[in-house]
Structure 1
């Protein structure tokens, strides 16, 4: 009953936040304008992320225990959404965004004294302890995951579908481990994203009702994902193994790593936007936007299912890691084939 009330509260907060802030966004110019890289019709309000965060904030304050960890997460999230909204409005430089992400990472690491210190038994020689280097590793992980979800946001429904898949998968992992105290966190995030996805996909059949996530939303999603994964894999109360986390957010991670390597080889900045992401290549190869959404969403679900099955059956961690690396090699090879077909 408690979980149901939390979900209902979150959904309606997110829904009405969208209805309230949509005209405000249009009034202040917080909109995404068409360009050579952004092929959509008209100016679209960038309020998806703001509505999701406000719903998460309201539901958390109403239903979740007032812990230090939760307070630090909400403060860090508010800062992330603020920086993202500034980026949506003024197109901040990459350096400014990265500095902001480092500050936010510091708040999460030092605010609760938690970081990624244990990588699990990846090579069957015992758990790999990072010690003090774990702090550096956590900084890198936070920045990578935030930008992975930020960079994957390119077609209607994609970031919403992928984030819901990730949050639901994490909720299942908490449920499998018996950590029901943590179950509300990913469920609130998944539910808060649902109204955005409905508006973004035009379920209400009116183009004027469409909204976008914006950098405020995609970076907030990334921050929430790495926070949940860290909470779920570290400490005495860890709910699942670190290697499983790779499978839960596989598509955003693989897309980011592949495109960063490709840009570096071509002498371009890793953070310079282009139209060479997986969804762009699939569309150039002949798929429609909806077909592309379905293909990538199914691929993400498949990857998450491998992680969930591996955790449930306690598959050897080395096998899971090797499997992920093999899948990444297949992913890169497939990208090359698709890019040639699209030319």
Structure 2
């Protein structure tokens, strides 16, 4: 255990140190080139804030992974070896990362970004990283290959956009991703290379989180931008699918592993699905920005930004605790999912009523 833990720690701390060095440089560059996230009626901030913090995530992850591999060799282990699916994730992640950078700098239509996201999502199932067994979720087990391709791509798109669109207040997207990727590092700990990648991204995110939440406007405050949130969404999608698979073939996703992934990704996924349905039902385009996400609703109910962040992170832990208790009581996976959705809808309904009464 200690031989595996040391590469994870070196990956975490090397990425954290690089991020701590890199973010102030990015902030200076943003000020010099005037790269700011400008306030508007939909956004929570009232002053321009540098927005390219997400640029640091990928290089930090790569260097953290390299240091972990080097540490593994020094300790007498083997150098990290990556499979085809990890290479596919790298290419897809690069594509997602660069469209985020372009969007942060020049702006890009949401529909255009979505098309490129589809191409990036296709990398994984084309390299045999796909879901082919739902393990009895709603009575469904093995599914045809063509259905597995479609389901995998749809899930990647949903998760990528869920993490991207929940990035509306300080520390929310990064905070959730810290928790999600830490859990996946534990779940995938048998694969030291993948766990080290998770550890590196978490190390980078922890440092970014402090800059984002506690940094002062005009000082060290910075946003991750689409480059960061889209990349994080893609990594979370990859880890979620990877955790459902055997090392060789995309079959026999364990029911317990599926329940864990559903639990970890539930809040951002339910939020983006609800918002998309709400926009469609009210005659708005699903890519049309608004203020109907869960963090908007909480703030509309009178909570401060930091209280909103604390409430959503507390909700994450509450869902994890409830699902663990239900699972230990041998509740079926479909029933647990239905109860999760019911809890979310109940909370959303109460918050909407509170918000309307305050108006």
Partner residue in 2 for 1:294: 310
**Equivalent residues in 2 for 1:44-59, closer than 5 Å:** 44-59=49-64
Cα offsets for 1:246-286 (capped at 9, x unmatched):
21012111211221121111100112111121111211211
On the 8 A contact 1:118/1:234 being kept in 2, the answer is: no
Aligned equivalent of 1:3, options 8, 11, 24 = 8
Number of aligned residues:
338
- Does residue 154 of structure 2 align to residue 140 of structure 1? yes
Alpha-carbon distance in structure 2 between the residues aligned to 1:24 and 1:310 = 50
Unaligned runs of 5+ in 2: 1-5, 70-79
Alpha-carbon distance in structure 1 between the residues aligned to 2:327 and 2:182 = 15
Unaligned runs of 5+ in 1: none
- Does residue 136 of structure 2 align to residue 121 of structure 1? yes
Using the size of structure 2 for normalisation, the TM-score is 0.86
Q: CA RMSD in A?
A: 2.4
Aligned equivalent of 2:227, options 199, 213, 216 = 216
Partner residue in 2 for 1:89: 105
**Equivalent residues in 2 for 1:202-241, closer than 5 Å:** 202-203=214-215, 207-235=218-246, 240-241=256-257
Alpha-carbon distance in structure 1 between the residues aligned to 2:195 and 2:326 = 20
Using the size of structure 1 for normalisation, the TM-score is 0.89
Cα offsets for 1:304-333 (capped at 9, x unmatched):
344455667775323322322323432442
On the 8 A contact 2:9/2:199 being kept in 1, the answer is: no
Cα offsets for 1:108-159 (capped at 9, x unmatched):
222x221121111224x67343432110111111111111111111111111
Alpha-carbon distance in structure 2 between the residues aligned to 1:27 and 1:206 = 16
**Equivalent residues in 2 for 1:142-221, closer than 5 Å:** 142-174=156-188, 182-203=194-215, 207-221=218-232
On the 8 A contact 2:54/2:227 being kept in 1, the answer is: yes
Partner residue in 1 for 2:3: none
Judged with a 3 Å threshold, the aligned counterparts in structure 2 of structure 1 residues 261 and 32 are, in CA distance, closer, same or farther, namely same
Judged with a 3 Å threshold, the aligned counterparts in structure 2 of structure 1 residues 224 and 339 are, in CA distance, closer, same or farther, namely same
On the 8 A contact 1:245/1:307 being kept in 2, the answer is: no
Alpha-carbon distance in structure 2 between the residues aligned to 1:282 and 1:252 = 15
